[in-house]
């Protein structure tokens, strides 16, 4: 009967159930298309993300080209080794044996996510040093290693003197970090 009414133009008298079924079919088709477009956008975004080059921010490689590696002696003092390419710059590098950190502490800053290190740098060399690079290793309370952070300090330290660097931001640290040990990596003659 409703089909006959629709044929003669009296479709407005059709039953409520028939109109609701037609509206539900239209809604499900448009919802399905929207879901399909969302899935296509996610797949395309993942494909573009996979093609991007890897980040260079937190790699294990040294931050500077003239430094090849940092080795630790049995006493825990770092000793920098140089690559053959950096031997031409050897006169500008400072003697790390006569440059040391005499005291150090650290605390959290930046809502607990950043490490702020305070340390005293002692220079026993016969020349001033600048561009001092320090590396800090952070560990849990039980001593298990969490992360490393490094920083180059642009300030200079005069010959046969000491200088205290207060609350130097080293970088973001794990919330479980409880201990920090900083050591010298490199320095340049001034």
- Chunked into runs of 10 residues, the chain (190 residues) has average pLDDT values of 56 56 65 83 86 60 41 45 46 79 91 90 92 93 92 91 93 90 91
For residue 80, what pLDDT is reported? Answer: 42
Q: Which two tokens stand for residue 80?
A: 């920098």
Q: Give whole-number Cα distances, 17 to 2, 22, 101, 160, in Å.
A: 11, 9, 83, 94
pTM over 0.75: no
């Amino acid at each position: 009967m409703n089909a006959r009414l629709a044929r003669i133009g009296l479709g407005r008298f059709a039953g409520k159930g028939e109109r609701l079924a037609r509206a539900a079919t239209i809604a499900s088709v448009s919802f399905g298309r929207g879901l399909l477009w969302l899935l296509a956008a996610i797949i395309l975004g993942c494909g573009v993300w996979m093609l991007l080059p890897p980040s260079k921010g937190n790699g294990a490689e040294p931050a500077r080209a003239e430094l090849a590696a940092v080795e630790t002696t049995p006493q825990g003092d770092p000793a920098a080794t140089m690559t053959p390419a950096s031997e031409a710059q050897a006169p500008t590098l400072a003697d790390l044996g006569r440059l040391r950190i005499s005291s150090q502490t650290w605390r959290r800053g930046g809502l607990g996510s950043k490490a702020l290190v305070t340390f005293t740098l002692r220079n026993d060399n016969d020349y001033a040093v600048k561009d001092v690079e320090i590396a800090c290793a952070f560990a849990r309370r039980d001593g298990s290693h969490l992360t490393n952070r490094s920083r180059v300090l642009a300030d200079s330290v005069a010959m046969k003197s000491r200088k205290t660097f207060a609350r130097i931001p080293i970088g973001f640290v794990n919330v479980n970090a409880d201990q920090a040990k900083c050591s010298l990596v490199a320095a340049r003659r001034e």
